[in-house]
Structure 1
Amino acid sequence: MNWTNIAINLGILLYILTILAIIYTIILENRNPVRTLAWMLVLILVPGIGLFFYIYFGMNYRKIKMFSMKGLGDFKWLQYMSEDQKQRIKKTELLKKEDMEAVKPLMTLLLNNSKALLSRNNTVEILNNGEATFSSIFKAIAKAKKYIHLEYYIIDKGELGEQLKELLIEKAKEGVEVRVIYDDVGSWKLPKRYIKEMQAAGIQIYPFLPVRFPLFTNKVNYRNHRKIVVVDGDTGFIGGLNFADRYLHGLPGIGIWRDTHLKVKGEAVTSLQVVFLFDWYFVRQELLLNKAEYLPNKKVDGNVVVQTVASGPDSDWTSIQQAYFTLINMAKKYVFISTPYFMPGETTINSLKTAAMSGVDVRIMIPYKSDSTLTHWCTRSYVEELLEAGVRVFQYRKGFNHSKVIVMDGLVSSVGTANMDIRSFEQNFEVNLIIYDRNVSRQLGSDFLNDLKGSTEISIQRWKFRPKRDKIRESLARLFAPLL
């Protein structure tokens, strides 16, 4: 008896049974038929590698609840408040009557899909570059008296990283509570020395979903892309800028980094705090949501109405994707979209084409040069079908535009961390502010139009005759859209 052959045959049989079990699971998930067939073919035709790719990219963690927040309990207060607000939307005018009628569907959707509570006593300040953003964040941190909560996808060594570390250490020595969450993949280059110095000063700093190869490679695909700062429950920050020097000084060969961040005061800061505290529970298993000092619900002399929308593998719905889809479908006059990476999936791109063909002025701004070659070519692969439907597409040339902004009819706007791509919609932990305010939305719209002055519009006649090698690169890159 050849035990080697027996072991090989048993290994092959076990692999086949594993593949059949996975295929059975995929079928029962009732995914998009094209995706289902694609994964089945990969698993069958590419032995070994196909299984690796499925574990790494294909498993639907929203379905299997890998990131379930059940350990936090049901949070009946959140459920109660969201139900109460749904009733108030029907009866109360948070905005002018005509504006309220226009935005009711979006408000109700976000209460249903993510319990995104409405807040009305807020002020919102738009920060349009790294210099303004980091200066404002550092000033707010320097004034902290009680606590600083900071959550970022990227914290990198360098000028900004050092300035942040020194300031946080200084505040910790003053007795201010400092809690920091950094994404373990986004902040991969963060030195251990940096972390130990902060810990030695009493700062609580922890990675989100640590990756330890080779056991947890599947977790690389589910990252915390949020950028949140909350100071004393009084001031909050959210947007596209990370703590890395390129966000302040730009990149060689590409230019200055153009981005949009928000400084928020008022009730919306409490909503940002809730997102942070949920993530804190995830990384520390420490429940702070039941402590009143962390949920002060401060009001200010402002009347900006805001919903804070969080989405990720821990939620049942792709909340931000649904918000974008609804914003586009609600538009009567125009939709302005700025996104650094455009790989939106079939549903979103069809909504954009439908809006444009219905007479809505749809304009999309993408970078002329990108910090990622593969996403650059993948983004370009969608341009021709958009142009054919009447969508106007512009390439920003005064550096790298990393803003994630949508403005609809000068009435509603969205600013946050989510790109218009499948990764942001389905895989990453993201957070956006939906702002129901004409002044803020008009300012964001004005900023968009100002950015157009540094952009060139793509002509469909010239685009169709771009080099064939570019078309090949675009088509090949698009094959990787679900993975980017």
Structure 2
Amino acid sequence: MRKLRGLWKIVFGRTTMLVLLLFIQALVLFGGFVILGRQVLMLNYMSGFLAVMILMYILNVKQNSSFKLMWIIFILVVPIVGVAFYIYTKLQPGTRFISRRVRELIEEEKVFLSPDAAVLERVYETSKPEAGLLRYIHDKGNYPAYGNASVKYFPLGEDKFKEMIYQLERAKDFIFLEYFIVERGHMWNTVLEILTRKVREGVEVRFMYDGTCTLSLLPKNYNKRMEALGIKCKIFSPMMPFLTTHQNNRDHRKILVIDGHTAFTGGINLADEYINEKVRFGHWKDTAIMVKGKAVNNFTLMFLQMWNITETECENYGRYMYMGNDRLEPSMRNGGYIVPYGDSPFDNEEVGEKVYLDILNTAKDYVHIMTPYLILDEELLNAIIFAAQRGVDVKIVLPHIPDKKYAYWLARTHYMELIAEGVEIYEYTPGFVHAKVFTSDDEKGVVGTINLDFRSLYLHFECAAYIWRNPVIRDIEADFQVTLEKCERISPQNCREYNLFYKILGRALRLVAPLM
């Protein structure tokens, strides 16, 4: 069996495929000379020369290997189109503008994002590896850690919605909302009624949603309707009728900040399926957290960073910062540490992925994961497998009823490889899992918007909270165990019996996995 597996890797490995594609390209060039004559030959030679130069650049640039491989295959298979498209993507002014503005805004905010030396010292005395991770998130992700964390976990969208309404009703100063999906219905109409009333009471309301909403969920001029109600409103990267690469970088964050002292994040958008008011893919399993205290400043600054990309005047950041003392909330889990952090596709640093990798690589007893998608690069795949090989209990809960069938077909291609190494795969039989949750060793957890796919890890603006030694970890893990009882464990036999056509389709989709 091992010999067959080795032969499979040789025949279908990257080196073999690249050599084969180079050979095919040589045949095409030769055929062009024989059939179409000198003019086409010159064009082929010119594109071939540019292709070699670009391939040399791709091989040496800092980028995930899966993206490199995708571009290499594209350029080798269709050199003229591949070269033209690669050059086009690199010359996009929109991408460069957003990248530059994000860097400028981070510099503006830095005075409010200084780490607390006392917090880092306390963590260092307890655990040097944890101190190193917190230092990394600040140095590369620009967000500091906070002690005396105050967190509440919501195992379902309905739970978060109820608390969200209660907190919105109490707003006195300002409300910031930033969501990937907004759709009119019970959830959004309820929120909008409160926002409209709060504006009349003198509360500042800013509302930002991603431009993909204008495709089918909201009217094109919906932001103008919000402005007419007194709500400051922006569409992040509106969809345009022409091809631009920066439209691939969506704002996938879900952030609600109230008066600077309360924030929400997690997988839950502002649409009825997220609270099971509307059934789309069976029961919708999603999660969120509420954070209180100084740690909310990180979420406030994440929001203002995105809001001010298109602004020319400097923001009065101090007006929105929480400067009070952290108060213990009886309804919250208090203690330990929390780092709310964002992830940008333009900083050449995969903070979201590296936090996940750190959890996998340092786990001693278990790592439990809930994610809607399993489209892995080699780093994550190897880390998951290595954790299981070290004897760590690795369990992953995925949807049984997917929202995107192509993503499910691709995820299935990883099942057998993971199961063979001791990873336990479960599918949530009542419906769809949209939660993005990691827990480990009863002391670490992440709740946020970051999926285990290329789009979340490399292409989108994302956010999450890393929590360490706060009692809320026990709540998250308890919810994982309850969810597990509603799941089917996937066996090798299940993998073998899966539809052959979908198996082949999933394997083929790996070629374009970085776009999914």
TM-score normalised by structure 1 residue count: 0.88
Q: Which moved more, 1:297-306 or 1:150-159?
A: 297-306
Residue 135 (1) aligns with residue 168 (2): no
Rounded to whole Å, the distance in 2 between the matches of 1:38 and 1:365 is: 28
Code of the residue aligned with 1:160 in structure 2: it is M
What are the equivalent positions in structure 2 for 1:91-240 lying under 5 Å apart? 91-93=121-123, 100-101=127-128, 103-188=130-215, 189-192=217-220, 194-214=222-242, 216-240=243-267
Mean CA deviation greater in 127-136 or 278-287 = 278-287
* 8 Å contact kept, 2:66–2:514: no
Residues 1:362 and 1:146: Cα distance change in structure 2 (over 3 Å): same
Q: Which amino acid is 2:393 matched to?
A: D
Where 1:211 maps in the other structure, the secondary structure is coil
CA distance in 2, matches of 1:253, 1:195: 26
500, 507, 512: which one pairs with 1:468? Answer: 500
Change in 2 beyond 3 A, CA 1:384/1:136: same
The equivalent residue for 1:373 is: 405
How far 1:186 moved relative to its partner? Answer: 4.2
CA contact (8 A) 1:65 1:314 kept: no
SS at match of 1:167: helix
1:325 aligns with 2:357: yes
Give the deviation of 1:113 after TM superposition: 1.8
**CA-CA distance at 1:210 after TM superposition:** 2.1
TM-score (norm: length of structure 2): 0.83
Matches of 2:357 and 2:435, distance apart in 1? 18
The 2-side partners of 1:361 and 1:265 are apart by 32
Secondary structure of residue in 2 paired with 1:238: strand
Q: Quick check: 2:337–2:470 contact (8 Å CA) kept in 1?
A: no
- Residues paired across the two proteins, number: 471
Unaligned 5+ runs, structure 1: 1-6
The match for 2:320 among 273, 294, 311 is 294
The amino acid across from 1:471 in the alignment is: K
Q: Name the structure where helix makes up a greater proportion of residues.
A: 2
- SS of residue paired to 2:471: helix
CA distance in 1, matches of 2:222, 2:92: 35
Contact 2:176/2:207, CA 8 A, preserved across alignment? yes
* Structure 2 SS opposite 1:479: helix
1:171 deviates by 1.2
Distance 1:231 1:121 in 2: 20
Paired-residue identity, %:
30
User: Offset at 1:36?
Assistant: 3.5
Q: CA deviation at 1:149?
A: 0.6
Unaligned runs of 5+ in 2: 1-38, 329-333
Deviates more, 1:454-463 or 1:386-395: 454-463
Corresponding residue SS for 1:181: strand
Structure 1 range deviating more: 412-421 or 32-41:
32-41
Q: CA deviation at 1:364?
A: 0.6
1:459-482 Cα shifts (integer Å, max 9, x gaps): 124423433223213212323211
* Aligned mates of 1:223, 1:198 — CA distance in 2: 21
Whole-angstrom CA distance in 2 between matches of 1:62 and 1:112: 26
The 1-side partners of 2:461 and 2:280 are apart by 30
2:372 maps to a residue whose letter is: P
Structural RMSD (CA): 3.2
Structure 1 residue 20: deviation in Å?
Answer: 6.3
1:74 is paired with a residue whose SS is helix
Any idea what SS the aligned residue of 1:297 has? Answer: coil
Matched-pair contact (CA < 8 Å) for 2:266–2:447: yes
2:507 is equivalent to residue 447 of structure 1: no
Deviations 1:361-409 (A, max 9, x none): 0111111111111111111111111101110111111221111000010
User: What is the CA-CA distance between 1:131 and the residue it aligns to?
Assistant: 1.7
Partner of 1:71: 104
Deviation of the 1:256 alpha carbon: 1.8
